[in-house]
Amino acid sequence: MSNPNHFLTMLDYDQATVYDLLKDAQTMKKEVKEGIPHPHLKGKTLAMIFEKSSTRTRVSFEVGMLQLGGHALFLSSDDIQLGRGEPVSDTAKVLSGYVDGIMIRTFGHDRIEELSAHASIPVINGLTNEHHPCQVLADLMTIQEQKGKLEGLTAAYIGDGFNNMAHSLIQGLSLMGMHVQVASPEGYEPDSVIMEEAKDVADKHNGSLSFSYSPERAVQQADVIITDVWASMGNEAEQEQRLSDFKDFQVNEALTAHAKDDYIFLHCLPAHREEEVTAAIIDGPHSVVFEEAENRLHAQKAILKKLL
C-alpha cells in the first residue's frame, strides 16, 4: 500500500512524482558541480538509525543533509534503546518529538512499517530485507542520465530474485514503463506478490515484466544489465551453497554479448569481483557503477527535500 508521506517502497509514489524527484536530483547535482548551495532544509534534523552496517547509505544521507543545510544524527542500534528491546512504536513516538524525519536501515520490512505507523514525521527506507528503494531511485537517475530516457528501455536483472534489490528494481523499473527481464536460479525467484503487483504497474505504463531461469534470455537486447551480490547481508552462512547455485549467473563478457552494443552495467555495490560479475565488466567501458553510487547522494536529497 502506497504512503506518500513516507518512502518505504518504490510504489509509494506514482510515475509523475518519481520523474519530479529525478528532475530535482539532477538540478541539485548540477548545483553541486557549479558550487551553488541549496540549503532547502536549513534547521531540519534527520535521525539515521542503523541496525545494519553501511558505507554508501550513511555517507550519502549525512552529506546530503549537510548540503541541504540540515543536520543528520547517526544512531547505531548499539547506542540507542531500540537495540536493547524498546518497542519500535515507543522509539517512533520519542523521535517524532525531537527530529524532522527518520531514515532507518534495518532487517524485516514489518519493522519499518511499524515505525512509520507510529511516527508523526516522515520515515525513509534506507534498506530492509525486502526493499531498497533509495538505491533504485539512484539507479533510475543513472539510467536516465546515460540513456536520456527510461520508458521503453529494456533492463535485465541477473541474480538472486528474492532480495531487496530485485524487488525494488522490479517495482521501480516497471513503474517507469521499462521492459524488465529477471533471471534467477531455481529456488531464488522473486516474491510472487511483488511480481504480480509490478506486472499490473508495468501494463499501465506500457512496460512489461518477465521472469526466466535463463540469464541469456533475460539479457537479450538489453539496454541495461544489473546484478547484485549472490549472498546479501544475512545470507553469509549460505555463501558456499550460493556459489554453486549461481555459478551460471555470472555477468561476464559471454553473457553481455547478448545485450545491445551500448548497454550499461549497474551494481549497487559492494561487489564481489569474479563472483556475480567479472572485473572485465565492472571495471570496463560499459560500467557506470561509480556514477550510480554518486547519484545516491542527489536522489536521496530529492527525497529528503520532498518529505522534510
Residue 191 gets which letter from DSSP? P
CA distance 259 to 268: 20
Biggest alpha carbon–alpha carbon distance for the chain:
55
Catalytic residue list contains 250: no
The yes-or-no answer on residue 38 being catalytic is: no
Q: Is 57 annotated as a binding residue?
A: yes
Annotated binding-site residue? 273: no
233 is in an annotated binding site: yes
Whether 217 sits among the annotated catalytic residues: the reply is no
Was 132 annotated as part of a binding site? yes
DSSP three-state, residue 220: coil
Q: Is 228 marked as a binding-site residue? A: yes
Choose, from 6, 132, 242, 298, the residue flagged as catalytic: 132
User: How many angstroms separate the Cα of 157 from the Cα of each of 14, 116, 154, 167?
Assistant: 22, 30, 10, 10
Q: Is 56 annotated as a binding residue?
A: yes
Residues 6+ apart with CB under 8 A from 225: 155, 156, 158, 219, 251, 256, 259, 263, 264, 265, 266
Q: Are 176 and 218 in contact (CB under 8 A)?
A: no
What is the C-alpha to C-alpha distance for residues 162 and 38, in angstroms, rounded to an integer?
38
* 131 annotated to a ligand binding site: no
Catalytic residue, chosen from 105, 131, 179, 242, is 105
Q: What is residue 287's DSSP assignment?
A: B
Q: Active-site residue 296, yes or no?
A: yes
Among 24, 67, 135, 181, the active-site one is 135
**Residue 67 annotated as lining a ligand binding site:** no
Q: Torsions phi, psi of 220, nearest 5?
A: -55, 120
| CA end-to-end distance (rounded Å), the chain | 21
Task: Note if 111 is an active site residue.
Answer: no
Catalytic, out of 12, 24, 139, 228: 228
Identify whether 242 is a catalytic site residue: no
Provide long-range contacts, Cβ within 8 A and 24+ apart, for 242-248.
242/160, 243/275, 245/185, 245/187, 245/188, 246/159, 246/160, 246/185, 246/188, 246/275, 246/276, 248/185, 248/215
Is 215 assigned a ligand-binding role in the annotation? no
* Catalytic entry in 167, 242, 286, 296: 296
Q: Is 232 annotated as a binding residue?
A: yes
Q: Would the annotation count 174 as a binding residue?
A: no
Residue tagged active-site, from 267, 268, 286, 298: 268
Residue ranges for the known binding site for carbamoyl phosphate are 54-57, 81, 105, 132-135, 268-269, 296
Residue ranges for the known binding site for L-ornithine are 164, 228, 232-233
Q: Which residues are catalytic?
A: 105, 132, 135, 228, 268, 296
Residue ranges for the known binding site are 54-57, 81, 105, 132-135, 164, 228, 232-233, 268-269, 296
